[in-house]
Amino acid sequence: MSRPERPVLVVIAHGSRDPRHAATVHALVRRVRAQRPGLRVETGFLDFTLPSVQGVLNSLAAEGVRDVVALPLLLTRAFHAKSDIPAVLRQAPSRLRIRQAEVLGPSPLLTAALERQLYEAGLTPADKSSTGVVLASAGSTDPEAIAVIAEIAREWRHTGWCAVRPAFASASLPRTEDAVRELRALGCERVAVAPYVLAPGFLPDRIARGAAGADVLADVLGPAPEVARVLLDRYDEARMPSLAALGA
């Protein structure tokens, strides 16, 4: 008896007028394909960039594809994951069986990526206990998303940093520059900013400007190998019910 084909993975990115955003998303998808040879991965954008999510789903249905895992390329479960993406998926061709995967965060792998990028930006493990870190995210009006960022900061602090403070580029406070000043006042010998964002764009640029008073600014998560691993974990979790039913 032949094994059923794996569902196509459709990565759903927000989209941006900044071309660096799409370039980073495509680089991440290339890494995902490299980590899981044989898995078909397509990319669709909610806004600003082509192909659109609807266009990708229409093309897959026209090819005869039946099963899709739609994965929001998001770090928190806020408005886009709760409202925008489900609305787009409801408009998909009826022949498609679509399962929406969970967002990427929180995950210990993402925290590991943040820490690795801080080291790549100039810190060393020996600096950890004397360094305060600003966990700088895009921001959200969703209380659940804000609470998740605060919890990540609390848990990360317990791994040995002098202090970790959340900050937000929009919608919520404090801003990155305020958190940098707070850590200075707290007495941390140095301050580092870790952008908890996936790709360059308007809000990450605002984070970078807010980090002007910090000693270290890490890069965005981008196509980090840890991000690709989380993405595949979420894909596997979403298709697990069908795997269990088939005894796979």
pLDDT tens-digit readout, 28-73: 999 999 999 999 999 999 999 999 999 999 999 999 999 999 999 9
> What mean pLDDT value characterizes the chain?
94
Contact predicate 189/175, CB 8 Å: no
- Asked if residue 243 has pLDDT above 90, the reply is no
Distance between CA atoms of 135 and 30, rounded to whole angstroms? 27
Strand partners, 196: 137
Of residues 99 and 242, the one with the higher pLDDT is 99
Terminal Cα distance for the chain, rounded: 12
Residue-level pLDDT at 245: 39
Q: Which of 238, 234, 239, 228 is nearest to 32 (CA)?
A: 228
- Asked if residue 247 has pLDDT above 50, the reply is no
Q: Which of 197, 177, 171 is nearest to 16 (CA)?
A: 197
Residue-level pLDDT at 3: 54
Q: Which of 54, 57, 100, 107 is nearest to 81 (CA)?
A: 100
Question: How remote is the C-alpha of 209 from its chain's centroid?
Answer: 21
Residue-level pLDDT at 2: 41
DSSP labels for 61-82? Answer: HHHT--EEEEEE--SS-SHIII
Residues 121-159: pLDDT tens digits?
999 999 999 999 999 999 999 999 999 999 999 999 999
- Calculate the dihedral angle through the C-alpha atoms of 92, 51, 226, 7, rounding to the nearest 10 degrees: 40
